[in-house]
Structure 1
Amino acid sequence: MTPAAVNDADIHNKLRKELAQSRVLLVDRHPEARNFLRMTLSAVGITSVRNAGTAHEALRQARNARFDVILADYLLDHGRDGQQLFEELRQQQLIPLASVFMIVTGERAYRRVVSVAELAPDDYLIKPFTADQLQSRLLRAMYKKKHFAEIYGHLEDDAFVDALAALESLLARSSEFALDGLRLKGEILNALGRYDEASEVYREVLAARVAPWARMGLALALRGRGELAEALVEAQALTEDFPEYLAAYDLTADLHERTGDLTAAQETLLAASGRSPDNATRQRQVGHLAVRNKDLAVAEKAFGKALDRLRGSSLRQLDDYTNLARVRIDKGDIAGARSVAADLRREFRGGKGSEAAESADVAELAALVVDSLAAGRTGDAEAAKNALNAALARHDSLANRRSTAVSQHLAVDLAHACLAQGEEARAQALLRRAAAEHHDDEGMIDRIRGVFARAGKEHLGEAMLTQVSDEIVDLNNKGVLAARSGDLDAAISMLSQAAERVANVQFLVNAAKAIFTKMNRDGWDEALAERAQGYVRRAQAKDAASPRVVSARELCQRVAKKYGVQLESAAKWKKGTDSEAE
């Protein structure tokens, strides 16, 4: 036996022992199928196994425990599939990169999705299979995970630059899993906003083979470089060539929206929703686009689907109720809007603990806003005014607590009710804050314009939006210029004030970067570090995938490492939180 063979045998034996100790989650809507998988796993020595009958349950369990292996059937509940579940788990950072995710599928389903199988799962296992076949595929997947273990470790610590350096070294000395390495390299470069380098990686892959994931990565890099027309061509072609690749529809819709074609964006998302009708996040996007397109029938249907999909679930969102109620009011369906308000009060009432009580308070605020808008639409001025006064009192009470967040979408609805009842100063204050926090979100800016338009105050709205935009640019520029001139104390002061006044991603990230740049120069300061991490956490909650946020996380970890300080990674922040999951 050669030394290499002995080494391979040692690795294989070690992996078999690790596999036997793995914590496994089985996701299948059929109890008998889960029982079969459990027995099959038992036959290869795996006994730590949990079950999930739905994608919701899988997401919940992943929040509360770490799994080494997830086996998911391709066909899940409500028309969803295992590949979509994997994408959600990854996007929400609910499973480590080192975990193995394998989809179990029948041959017919496998043929339908195999062309894009490289997108997400570690493997597909075709039914029927034996215990030996399952073990063999799991061992192979675990071996590949071990190959990239160092890179995964850096990524989960938010050390993206270190991960890239380790990956470059690995690719230089080993050709094993080279294609997977290039995919990982492209993803890291895109995450860091190094789009030119990412484009080169994806073009290298595409010159050698057809790889849908590489075309998707290239389209994302082109979008990052501002080459929207070229990105759109690539994304549209992906949806045509690989109609099961739903992420390509989302990217295509985003590019249509960025280029101003809201009708095409809506149609693209509707096409994706036709293939996956129970994705609540996508239904919300359809609804918001339809409102902007004044297509209230489609908006009502989409918001209704999003609400029904998550009704009674811990993943429900209060905005789903107000979205639907607002559209029904615009359609003149006052009874339907009031029915939503009644559902809202009922759904959020009766929970235990302070968090449930606060959620009930916000729900009552939202219901009162709906009551005011609905009464105003019917001409009942007294009822509208009374409901608004109650809503404002509750809003002020929630604001004083500081621990309870009111979404900016609800704040805009409250401002709408204020303008309708002549409370112009209160409306302006609410809308100014919403515009400042979402100044680069055209959807939110359109909503704010719509509120002013309904009150016949379009010119007032445009003047306010222009003023807010100018103030944001001025605030940011002053802080950034101070940082560039080396006056980091002044930069921190200005940018921190800006972040506290207007908690948008740009201000939060710039304030955090100024603080960590100062500590990199002057030494570690625990109080400053805590403040900066708070800013990064808030930015992360708003847009986790933004290269701005990624670079801030990277800088935080790099400076902490310099002084031997261990900071929590973004993956740990995410774990156990209520996210915009499905």
Structure 2
Amino acid sequence: MNTPAGNSLGALDDEEMLLVLQQSLTKKRVLIVDRHSPARDSLRLMLGALGVTAVHGAGSSAEVIRQVKGNRFDIILSDFVLDDGRDGQQLLEELRHAHLIPLATVYMIITSERSYTNVVALAELSPDDYLIKPFTSEQLQARLVRSIYKKHVLRKIYEQIERGELHEAIAACDRVIQQQPMYQYDALRFKGELLHQLGQTGEAEAVYRRVLEGRIAPWAKMGLATALRDRNALDEAEQLAEQVLQEAPDFLSTYDFLASVHEAQGKLKEAQTVLQRAADVSPHNTVRQRLVGDVAARNKDLLAAEKAYSKVIARSKGSSLRTVDDFANLSRVLVERGDVEASRKVTAEMKRELRGDKQAELAALVSESLCLEAEGAPEKAKQLVDHALSLQGEVEAESHSKGRGVSQRLAIDLAHACYATGKPADAEKIMRQVAAENHEDTHLIGHITDVFAKTGRPDAGKALLEQVGREIVELNNKGVMAARAGDFEGSVHLLMQAADQVPNLQFLVNAAKAIYTLMDQKGWSPTLAERAFDYLQRAQRKDRKSPKVVSARQLYVTVAKKYGIETTL
């Protein structure tokens, strides 16, 4: 964790370098985030005294989102306590999750909070620094200059990552390691993560072992544990993660990792326990609360699931991180608990907050149909399901036009409602499509399995999932075999058909890579390039960090560069 305000610049004692950095500071564009106008004005005056004049202010999280979408800020200074009970940590989470600020932006949190929970939360989400009130303009300048210098040293790494040129980013890491020993561990951390993204697990493992030879670093141990998990050494990965928790119990991402290992081992209760421990220490992390709810629901611990999903909704109020699924998850659990009225209240809140959203409208129909079915009113429930099925096509069309995915959980809930109201054919059609498109997503497959169990069809569910798995392999093999036989055009045609029919992550990646491989040999085709880019974007929405997606993105960058085409990711 960074040290409090007032420490020296350490390696930045050279007066000439300090002068250059101070001059650089005057040219930076700054965004001050504070709900109190006088506080923003005070900090603006302090920055003005340092020669910083391009200063903007925002009094709410919504205003921050609006401003960062329209401007590129070099520095964001955010108070910890924001509007509507939200905080600077949540804001940072949202900005990073949505890729709204570049890696080069300095994000600093200002706080008077000294409690253990808040400090842990800040460390977990890794702002560049934090300032404890009160502080002087000299202390502010020193901390900003130090952060700017670090960003300057690492800037080439950031630039290559943002261009999608990960091999070049690794080369930039190597240059920092050789030329800037003070920041070698920052560069090694990036290098390990980049190698892991590229699927070069063995090389990533070597980087983390190199770090651990020189220092005790929780992030390096966790990088090593991730590499072990990826080559299915689950017991070793579990032991290493447990070791990290003993040595650094505040390194909260370890809990998430350990939970994922327990899930892979089939130990769902242990996974829930680990996630709950982390959520208790850092209750502000929305993503983790959502995971707690998911695992608790699968464990039939409905009270814990209700509590976690309720926190997600409360914490994400007014945030772009809030989704229809959050409301649907809570509504579903409440119905299972027999609290139909509470479920209806959640649905009413969703309709108010997401007015005009067709997915929310569909979710409301599905939720109410399940409520009616639970109350013993099957005919009324059936009418709503009929309406929901007719709306589903509109939802899919709208989602595609807006470049966002249809809620797969909502689709499963619709299938559940179909089974509950005597529409097994409609339900099976939906289940087949969701299973095919998400066969690698253990949470969604678990949700499908639960619905089959709830509706008295466990064997049918198992048979459906096995059949879908076989069909996916057969469909994929046709295109792959054509490519191996040297028929690249035929392979592209077959793989595009597969991706259009079943847009799961693997098929989308295969189709994109096949097109880029063909263009690499035959020349750039704007029409094919547009199709490939669409496949790549849809794969990224499913899992941007998947090594398969990263590999396709790298091929896109390489081929586009060959033909002088500007890349956009």
TM-score (norm 1): 0.88
Q: Which amino acid aligns with 2:431?
A: L
Q: Which moved more, 1:54-63 or 1:220-229?
A: 54-63
Aligned partner of residue 177 in structure 1, secondary structure:
helix
Q: Does 1:430 align with 2:436?
A: no
- Taking the aligned partners of 2:317 and 2:133, their CA distance within structure 1 comes to 34
Q: 1:225, CA displacement in angstroms?
A: 2.5
Aligned partner of residue 554 in structure 1, secondary structure:
helix
- Taking the aligned partners of 2:527 and 2:323, their CA distance within structure 1 comes to 34
Q: 1:74, CA displacement in angstroms?
A: 5.3
Describe the shift of the 1:116–1:448 C-alpha distance in structure 2 as closer, same or farther (beyond 3 A). closer
Q: Pairwise mapping of residues 540-579 of structure 1 onto structure 2 (< 5 A)?
A: 540-569=540-569
**Equivalent residue, structure 2, for 1:324:** 330
Q: Pairwise mapping of residues 162-201 of structure 1 onto structure 2 (< 5 A)?
A: 162-201=168-207
Q: 1:25, CA displacement in angstroms?
A: 2.3
- Taking the aligned partners of 2:194 and 2:85, their CA distance within structure 1 comes to 32
Q: 1:296, CA displacement in angstroms?
A: 0.8
* Contact residue 74 and residue 109 of structure 1 kept, 8 A: no
- Taking the aligned partners of 1:167 and 1:338, their CA distance within structure 2 comes to 53
Q: Does 1:343 align with 2:349?
A: yes
For residues 462-515 of structure 1, the C-alpha deviation after alignment (integer angstroms, 9 at most, x for no partner) is: 111111011112222222232233322122112111111222211111111111
* Contact residue 116 and residue 212 of structure 1 kept, 8 A: no
Q: 1:331, CA displacement in angstroms?
A: 1.4
- Taking the aligned partners of 1:59 and 1:242, their CA distance within structure 2 comes to 33
Describe the shift of the 1:238–1:55 C-alpha distance in structure 2 as closer, same or farther (beyond 3 A). farther
* Contact residue 92 and residue 125 of structure 2 kept, 8 A: no
**Equivalent residue, structure 2, for 1:573:** none
Aligned partner of residue 293 in structure 2, secondary structure:
helix
* Contact residue 479 and residue 494 of structure 1 kept, 8 A: yes
Q: Which moved more, 1:366-375 or 1:310-319?
A: 310-319
**Equivalent residue, structure 1, for 2:223:** 217
- Taking the aligned partners of 2:381 and 2:234, their CA distance within structure 1 comes to 45
Q: 1:323, CA displacement in angstroms?
A: 1.1
Aligned partner of residue 72 in structure 1, secondary structure:
strand
- Taking the aligned partners of 1:18 and 1:29, their CA distance within structure 2 comes to 28
Q: Pairwise mapping of residues 133-282 of structure 1 onto structure 2 (< 5 A)?
A: 133-282=139-288
Match of 1:396 among 393, 402, 408: 393
- Taking the aligned partners of 2:548 and 2:42, their CA distance within structure 1 comes to 46
For residues 500-548 of structure 1, the C-alpha deviation after alignment (integer angstroms, 9 at most, x for no partner) is: 1222211111111111111112211111111111111111111111121
Describe the shift of the 1:144–1:110 C-alpha distance in structure 2 as closer, same or farther (beyond 3 A). farther
For residues 142-162 of structure 1, the C-alpha deviation after alignment (integer angstroms, 9 at most, x for no partner) is: 222222222221111000011
Aligned partner of residue 181 in structure 2, secondary structure:
coil
Describe the shift of the 1:330–1:471 C-alpha distance in structure 2 as closer, same or farther (beyond 3 A). same
- Taking the aligned partners of 1:74 and 1:24, their CA distance within structure 2 comes to 17
Describe the shift of the 1:115–1:413 C-alpha distance in structure 2 as closer, same or farther (beyond 3 A). closer
* Contact residue 78 and residue 278 of structure 1 kept, 8 A: no
Describe the shift of the 1:497–1:45 C-alpha distance in structure 2 as closer, same or farther (beyond 3 A). same
For residues 145-188 of structure 1, the C-alpha deviation after alignment (integer angstroms, 9 at most, x for no partner) is: 22222222111100001111233244334535222222222121
Describe the shift of the 1:83–1:196 C-alpha distance in structure 2 as closer, same or farther (beyond 3 A). farther
Describe the shift of the 1:568–1:376 C-alpha distance in structure 2 as closer, same or farther (beyond 3 A). same
Aligned partner of residue 71 in structure 1, secondary structure:
strand
* Contact residue 94 and residue 320 of structure 2 kept, 8 A: no
* Contact residue 83 and residue 120 of structure 1 kept, 8 A: no
Q: Which amino acid aligns with 1:383?
A: K
**Equivalent residue, structure 1, for 2:510:** 510
Describe the shift of the 1:454–1:184 C-alpha distance in structure 2 as closer, same or farther (beyond 3 A). closer
Q: Pairwise mapping of residues 384-463 of structure 1 onto structure 2 (< 5 A)?
A: 384-399=381-396, 403=401, 406-463=406-463
* Contact residue 193 and residue 224 of structure 1 kept, 8 A: no
- Taking the aligned partners of 1:479 and 1:525, their CA distance within structure 2 comes to 20
- Taking the aligned partners of 1:174 and 1:270, their CA distance within structure 2 comes to 40
Q: Pairwise mapping of residues 13-24 of structure 1 onto structure 2 (< 5 A)?
A: 13-24=19-30
Q: State percent identity of aligned pairs.
A: 50
Q: Which amino acid aligns with 2:178?
A: A
**Equivalent residue, structure 2, for 1:379:** 376
- Taking the aligned partners of 1:348 and 1:112, their CA distance within structure 2 comes to 30
For residues 201-249 of structure 1, the C-alpha deviation after alignment (integer angstroms, 9 at most, x for no partner) is: 1121111112222222222222223222222222233233323322222
Structure 1: gaps spanning 5 or more residues: 1-7, 350-356, 570-582
Q: 1:109, CA displacement in angstroms?
A: 5.9
Describe the shift of the 1:216–1:73 C-alpha distance in structure 2 as closer, same or farther (beyond 3 A). farther
Aligned partner of residue 163 in structure 1, secondary structure:
helix
- Taking the aligned partners of 1:238 and 1:65, their CA distance within structure 2 comes to 40
**Equivalent residue, structure 2, for 1:49:** 55
Describe the shift of the 1:372–1:469 C-alpha distance in structure 2 as closer, same or farther (beyond 3 A). same
- Taking the aligned partners of 1:197 and 1:177, their CA distance within structure 2 comes to 20
**Equivalent residue, structure 1, for 2:494:** 494
**Equivalent residue, structure 2, for 1:306:** 312
- Taking the aligned partners of 2:219 and 2:136, their CA distance within structure 1 comes to 30
**Equivalent residue, structure 1, for 2:95:** 89
Q: Which moved more, 1:106-115 or 1:403-412?
A: 106-115
For residues 440-465 of structure 1, the C-alpha deviation after alignment (integer angstroms, 9 at most, x for no partner) is: 12221121122222222222211111
Describe the shift of the 1:79–1:44 C-alpha distance in structure 2 as closer, same or farther (beyond 3 A). same
Q: 1:262, CA displacement in angstroms?
A: 0.8
Describe the shift of the 1:134–1:312 C-alpha distance in structure 2 as closer, same or farther (beyond 3 A). closer
- Taking the aligned partners of 1:384 and 1:112, their CA distance within structure 2 comes to 46
Q: Which moved more, 1:130-139 or 1:250-259?
A: 130-139
Describe the shift of the 1:184–1:260 C-alpha distance in structure 2 as closer, same or farther (beyond 3 A). same
Describe the shift of the 1:157–1:365 C-alpha distance in structure 2 as closer, same or farther (beyond 3 A). same
- Taking the aligned partners of 1:307 and 1:388, their CA distance within structure 2 comes to 26
Describe the shift of the 1:232–1:91 C-alpha distance in structure 2 as closer, same or farther (beyond 3 A). farther
Q: Which moved more, 1:496-505 or 1:306-315?
A: 306-315
Q: Does 1:469 align with 2:469?
A: yes
TM-score (norm 2): 0.89
Q: Which amino acid aligns with 1:403?
A: S
**Equivalent residue, structure 2, for 1:577:** none
Which of structures 1 and 2 has the larger relative contact order (alpha carbons within 8 angstroms, sep 6+)?
Answer: 1
Structure 2: gaps spanning 5 or more residues: 1-13
**Equivalent residue, structure 2, for 1:369:** 366
Aligned partner of residue 55 in structure 2, secondary structure:
strand
**Equivalent residue, structure 2, for 1:130:** 136
Aligned partner of residue 401 in structure 2, secondary structure:
coil
* Contact residue 68 and residue 98 of structure 1 kept, 8 A: yes
Describe the shift of the 1:116–1:394 C-alpha distance in structure 2 as closer, same or farther (beyond 3 A). closer
For residues 399-436 of structure 1, the C-alpha deviation after alignment (integer angstroms, 9 at most, x for no partner) is: 46653753111111111111112111110110001111
Q: 1:26, CA displacement in angstroms?
A: 2.7
Aligned partner of residue 406 in structure 1, secondary structure:
coil
